Amino acid sequence: MRSLIDITDFSVEEVTRVLDLADEMIADPARWRTAMQGKILATLFFEPSTRTRLSFESAMLSLGGSVLGFAGADSSSTTKGETLTDTIRVVSGYCDIIAMRHPKEGAPMAAKLCSDVPIINAGDGGHNHPTQTLTDLMTIRREKGRLDHLTIGLCGDLKFGRTVHSLIGAMSRYPGVTFVLISPPELRTPDYVLQSLQDQGIPYRETESLEEAMPELDILYMTRVQKERFFNEADYVRLKDTYILDPEKLRTAKADLRILHPLPRVNEISTRVDADPRAVYFKQTRNGRFVRMALIKTLLEDMQ
Ligand code: CP
The alpha carbon of 277 and the centre of ligand 1 are apart by a number of angstroms equal to: 23
Predicted TM-score (pTM) of this structure:
0.96
Question: Per-residue pLDDT tens for 44-96?
Answer: 999 999 999 999 999 999 999 999 999 999 889 999 999 999 999 999 999 99
Residue nearest to atom 3 of ligand 1 (CA): 52
Inter-residue contact 31 to 157 (CB < 8 Å)? no
Would you give the distance in Å from CA 76 to the centre of its chain? Answer: 25
Atom of ligand 1 nearest to the CA of 52: 8
Question: Per-residue pLDDT tens for 238-285?
Answer: 888 899 999 999 999 999 999 999 999 999 999 999 999 999 999 999
Average pLDDT over residues 168-186: 97
Atom of ligand 1 nearest to the CA of 55: 8
Please provide the DSSP assignment of 205-271 as one string. Answer: EEES-HHHHGGG-SEEEE----GGG-S-HHHHHHHTTS--B-TTGGGGS-TT-EEE--S--SSSB-G
Angle between helices 12-27 and 130-144 (to 10 degrees): 70
Single-letter amino acid code for the residue at 5: I
Ligand 1 in reach of 49 Cβ (< 6 A): yes
For residues 139 and 288, what is the distance between their CA atoms, to the nearest angstrom?
A: 9
Residue nearest to atom 4 of ligand 1 (CA): 51
Question: Per-residue pLDDT tens for 205-250?
Answer: 999 999 999 999 999 999 999 888 887 888 888 888 899 999 999 9
Question: Per-residue pLDDT tens for 109-166?
Answer: 999 999 999 999 999 998 999 999 999 999 999 999 999 999 999 999 999 999 999 9
Cβ-based burial of 90 (10 A; exposed 0-12, middle 13-18, buried ≥19): exposed
The alpha carbon of 264 and the centre of ligand 1 are apart by a number of angstroms equal to: 6
Average pLDDT over residues 18-25: 98
Residues annotated as catalytic (active site), given as ranges: 51-52, 80, 101, 129
Coil, strand, or helix at residue 86? helix
Ligand 1 in reach of 52 Cβ (< 6 A): yes
Ligand 1 in reach of 43 Cβ (< 6 A): no
Inter-residue contact 246 to 270 (CB < 8 Å)? yes
| Residues recorded for the chain | 304
Q: Is the omega angle on the peptide bond into residue 264 within 30 degrees of 0, that is, cis?
A: yes
Model pLDDT, residue 120? 98
Model pLDDT, residue 304? 67
Model pLDDT, residue 302? 78
